[in-house]
Amino acid sequence: MEDIGLPELTPEQIEELCSKVEEAAREYVLSKVPPKHVETLNISVETDGEKPLTLTVDVEIVLSPLMQEYDVQKLADEAVKEAFKLAEKYLRELKCRLQK
């Protein structure tokens, strides 16, 4: 993710960012596959450092045997992309709020 000139985040802001990013990835997966066909959905979001802040998102998906033809890796990759889109949007909005 590019540097958008954000000041150091508070622990509360980092926690909110991680929570929103995880939710975005989860919502994306569940918008593409019915929940009853998802056997495992693990999403981990980690941050490292303060300035710059490094964000890592991992999505692990196991679908039911009925979905064996579904490209699970592509779904996981797309969920990560959606999570990073939301992270960037959140950080840009936060930057705007902090500059007021």
For 25-55, the pLDDT digits (tens) are 999 999 999 999 999 999 999 988 777 778 9
Domains of the chain are 11-95 (3.30.300.100)
Specify the pLDDT at position 1: 45
Contacts of 8 (CB under 8 A, 6+ apart): 50, 51
> pTM of the entire structure?
0.86
Any idea which residue has 């998102």 for tokens? 57
